[in-house]
């Protein structure tokens, strides 16, 4: 663990390269990306160091911003990929109406859906649909269930652990997300298998701008 006083997530260190691989393939050149629930800010910095031309907008809930702001101030300028930028982090609670105006070519979030209450997830989908350009991508990284079944024993144990910490937390069902996403005009485009029983779900804002 680096001795720089910044918040640090070992999970981010493990998953940043696999996530970068997907973003390289899927983001258009010069993409404006809104990250929801940036946490330590490690993903923001890693992606901006490796994706030329990307414009990364980190965010997190008010009250969770201090470490993120410090990381971006320290690491968000030097050593970035050509043309890449990291903006000053914004306060954003997905359940609140004050989302940034955007528009963004992508909204990315990692390991947040199982932390926020299930009732907050439709707000994440609706807010993302509002700020995405037509054809823009919503990328959801983390563990997911399918048809109410876990994909591994470890995810099942993790889900039980989350529930023991706080009953509102829990691994979400990917298939149950799809109809709500469709109502918001987000079509399920891809489901990328990631290491350690994680997935990267990719939804696309309908090009005609409409919902289901
Ligand atoms: C497990 S951390 C993941 C942080 C980071 N994305 C990562 O991969 O390390 C969960 C994050 O979700 C954020 N979060 C939880 N509820 C949220 C909400 N309603 N709106 C926005 N972010 C939320 C938390 O503040 C926290 O930063």
Give the atom of ligand 1 at the shortest distance from the alpha carbon of 93: 20
Side by side, the strands of the sheet bearing 55-57 are 85-86, 55-57, 32-36, 104-110, 132-142, 198-205, 186-194
Ligand 1 centroid vs 208 CA: distance in angstroms?
A: 30
Selecting from 2.40.50.140, 1.20.1340.10, 3.40.1400.10, 3.40.50.150, what CATH number does the domain 10-205 have? Answer: 3.40.50.150
Model pLDDT for residues 39-89, shown as the tens digit of each residue: 999 999 999 999 999 999 999 999 999 999 999 999 999 999 999 999 999
Give the atom of ligand 1 at the shortest distance from the alpha carbon of 95: 19
Testing ligand 1's pocket by substitution, the residue of 61, 62, 169 carrying the most ligand atoms inside 8 A of its CB is 61
Q: Would the pTM of this model clear 0.95, i.e. be above it?
A: yes
Token pair for 39: 């946490």
**How many beta carbons lie within 10 A of that of residue 187, not counting itself?**
14
Give backbone dihedrals phi and psi of 141, rounded to 5 degrees, phi first: -100, 140
The whole-angstrom distance between residue 183's C-alpha and the CA centroid of its chain comes to: 20
Question: What interhelical angle do 66-75 and 42-50 show, nearest 10?
Answer: 30
Model pLDDT for residues 130-183, shown as the tens digit of each residue: 999 999 999 999 999 999 899 999 999 999 999 999 999 999 999 999 999 999
Ligand 1 centroid vs 90 CA: distance in angstroms?
A: 13
Question: What interhelical angle do 121-131 and 174-183 show, nearest 10?
Answer: 50
pLDDT at 210 over 80: no
- Environment class of residue 54 by beta-carbon count within 10 Å: exposed (0-12), middle (13-18) or buried (19+)? buried
Check residue 23 and give its pLDDT. 98
Token pair for 63: 């009250």
Q: Of 42, 23, 15, give the one whose Cα is nearest residue 195.
A: 15
Nearest CA, atom 22, ligand 1: 37
């Amino acid at each position: 663990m680096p001795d720089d006083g910044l918040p640090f997530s070992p999970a981010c260190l493990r998953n940043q390269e696999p996530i970068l691989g997907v973003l390289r393939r899927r983001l258009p050149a010069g993409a404006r990306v809104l990250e929801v629930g940036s946490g330590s800010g490690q993903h923001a910095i890693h992606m901006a160091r490796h994706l030329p031309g990307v414009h990364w907008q980190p965010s997190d809930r008010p009250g969770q911003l201090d470490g993120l702001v410090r990381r971006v101030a320290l690491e968000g300028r030097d050593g970035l990929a050509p043309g890449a930028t990291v903006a000053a982090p914004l306060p954003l609670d997905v359940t609140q109406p004050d989302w940034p105006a955007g528009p963004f070519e992508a909204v990315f979030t990692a390991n947040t859906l199982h932390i926020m209450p299930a009732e907050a997830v439709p707000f994440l989908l609706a807010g993302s649909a509002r700020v995405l350009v037509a054809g823009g991508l919503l990328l959801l990284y983390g563990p997911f269930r399918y048809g109410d079944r876990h994909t591994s024993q470890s995810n099942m144990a993790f889900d039980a652990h989350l529930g023991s910490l706080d009953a509102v937390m829990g691994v979400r069902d990917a298939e149950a997300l799809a109809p709500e996403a469709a109502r918001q005009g987000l079509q399920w485009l891809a489901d990328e298998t990631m290491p350690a029983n994680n997935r990267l779900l990719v939804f696309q804002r309908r090009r005609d701008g409409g919902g289901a």
